[in-house]
Amino acid sequence: MERFDLIVIGSGSGLDVANAAAEHGMKVAIIEKDRMGGTCLNRGCIPSKLLLHSADVMETIHNAYLFGIYVHEYSIDYPKIIERVNGIVDPESSEIRKAFDNIKNPRLFPVQCRFVGQKEIQAGDSVITSDKILIACGARPSIPKIEGLEGSGYITSTEALRLKIQPKVLTILGGGYIACELAHFFGSLGTKINIVQRRDFLLPNEDEDVYKKFTDIFSKKYHVYAGHQTYKIRKEGDTFHVLARDGKGKEADIESDQLLVAAGRTPNTDTLDLEKTGVKTNEKGYVIVDELLETSTRGIFALGDVIGRYQFKHSANHEAQYAFANIVHDKKMAVNYEAMPHAVFSSPQVAGVGRTEQDLRRNKIDYMRSVYPYSGSAMGQAIEDREGFVKLLVDRNTRKILGCHIMGTDASVLVHEVLVAMRSGGTIDALANTIFIHPALSEVVARAAYAVQ
């Protein structure tokens, strides 16, 4: 049995910890059964955003007439779009893998692993051990139990990002950010989209003003079956039949040539035999950690999607800094999640941070709010964004920003001004007193700040 100073399971954000620990003089093992770089690089945010840029370009062409520009002829080379993405992602992952051929520390174990003792891991034919272990093995698409789904030939986001043939009609089960982003990609390229969502709205975890408006916009572009529960999948030849019913019992038989399941994520803890370690998980299988990212077994830490707090790459990268400090140094640091943002790269874009209005009402917090439309700014008019808005929620007594929710062009960029103010403990006045460039789109944030009451 070989002993290491640190074992890291997973090569996403865990790779950052492994490399930093090795540079610090620790003997490190990293275990990765799949491609190097984790979910984000190989089957998550990087390939999806590369694909989504093609969709954004397509929407620009579709809307060119609004600006007096008429595009009469264009064509889509779908295989080239997919090849471009794979041509960027795969070499980067391969380069990471090749780098480990020339180094002894960290030492890579490119195999499946499982715990065989509290701090003993079977990695292929080897058994390795360490007093310090970091679990960063991520999550995968969750597959609901629906009659007829298994064996039907459905795909998940993993396959969708590398799909070689563009569907003519695509049915998506789910209404979260993955479902909406992939609906935007395929829909913008001409695929007819059906979205079957058991909740009454798409993006139901967003602020209520966002999810209501977003659902309305998507419902005008695609066939959205909100409030529908899928109870059966039937395959007839090459055609999928999704059988669903709404809350009143009304039936729907939805046909398509491709079926995408985007119904959430599930942690990759079920293959690790964690019961051998004493590491506790919750009812959904996510690893339970404290404020230091340490599990119920002293010396074993976890971060990223596998702990289920914030399933974003930027959150995992943030946690990696704390994990390294808490594993290597005596002075421990609790993770500061203040102003953790998120974004949905659909059309329209959505970005948010902090509390939602429905949450504030539910907790009886005294707050002020403002909602300012993109169309009220010069740049909003210039780009013809008639639906976008910025919403700010502010504590009435302290004037601290409690939440910000943006829907519209470049929402994922505009929210950063608010993040800086929130992260630094500033009040709404920090935004209102800032000089914004005129007529930049960021003026919508300033005007929302002015309007808080």
309: left (phi over 0), alpha (psi -120 to 50) or beta: alpha
CB under 8 Å to 400, separation ≥6 — which residues?
Answer: 394, 422, 425, 426, 427, 428
* 187, burial (CB in 10 Å: exposed 0-12, middle 13-18, buried 19+): buried
Asked if residue 58 lies in contact with residue 189, where contact means CB atoms within 8 angstroms, the answer is yes
Amino acid in position 203: L
* 254, burial (CB in 10 Å: exposed 0-12, middle 13-18, buried 19+): buried
Q: Report cis status (omega within 30 of 0) of the bond before 348.
A: yes
- The catalytic residues are 438
Asked if residue 383 lies in contact with residue 409, where contact means CB atoms within 8 angstroms, the answer is yes
Asked if residue 445 lies in contact with residue 418, where contact means CB atoms within 8 angstroms, the answer is yes
CB under 8 Å to 86, separation ≥6 — which residues?
Answer: 47, 162
Spatial distance between the Cα atoms of 328 and 282, rounded to a whole number of angstroms: 27
Give the chain's end-to-end CA distance (angstroms, integer): 65
The secondary structure of residue 235, as a DSSP letter, is E
Spatial distance between the Cα atoms of 311 and 138, rounded to a whole number of angstroms: 9
Token pair 């960021």: residue: 442
Spatial distance between the Cα atoms of 116 and 309, rounded to a whole number of angstroms: 27
Give the tokens for residue 256.
């398509």
